[in-house]
Structure 1
Amino acid sequence: MSTDVGRPQHLTTQEARQRLEHERTSRLVQLQAIEAGAGPAEADLKSAQTAAIQRVLKEIDAAGQRLLDGTYGTCSSCDTAIPPERLEILPYVRFCVTCQQRSA
């Protein structure tokens, strides 16, 4: 018996857009919290966290562009479909698991 009964096999454009917007909003909230909470002693940590969040925001923007140009959900390296389960977890991901592991 399949555990996927009733689950879509891929994200619709609207679902992908909503997930990307949710990710963007979450990261912006994180940036605000970092700005509000870090003291001078934590400047290096604050800088590293801010840089990491800004990288993710760029990835989210790039995913939005892929959504517009019709390449969203396709691995940027091998051109295979990225599994919907991976896109549910990381809606801005550019690579399938195999290609991501190769680049790491």
Structure 2
Amino acid sequence: MSLDMSLAETRLQRLTAHEALQRLEHERASRLTQLRAIDEAEAEAEEQVMAAQKGTIQRILTEVEAAVARVQDGSYGTCQGCAKPIPVERLEILPYTRFCVPCQRNAA
């Protein structure tokens, strides 16, 4: 096993379910705040742009909810493409991600 892999595994172990849920709750709160701001500004903005933004935020909220379910069933942090651990750095940036970077590229 390489040094890089053992460091990644050690860092992954430090992201506890509680920490993951905290990050996901923060993500959820941020997106809900964005949705409220869009709803308030909708009268002033172009309807098409606002609809696209709302759609994106709602998609992310769906991903956040799915990530919460993965935390609860114990599969959080495991790539759904290759079944390897997702690096903790990626989970810190995108706490709701389902894929490691290589698998995300293949899924897109």
TM-score by length of 1: 0.89
In the TM superposition, what whole-angstrom CA distance separates every residue of 1:14-44 from its partner, at most 9, and x where no partner exists?
1000000000000000000000012265110
Seq. identity, %? 56
TM-score by length of 2: 0.86
1:62 aligns with 2:66: yes
Cα distance, 1:56 vs structure 2 = 0.1
The AA in structure 1 aligned to 2:59 is R
1:100 aligns with 2:104: yes
Aligned residues: 97
1:29 aligns with 2:33: yes
If each structure's helix is expressed as a fraction of its own residues, which one has the higher value?
A: 2
**Poorly superposed stretches of 4+, deviation over 6 Å:** none
Q: CA RMSD in A?
A: 1.2
Give 2:77's aligned residue: 73
The AA in structure 2 aligned to 1:34 is I
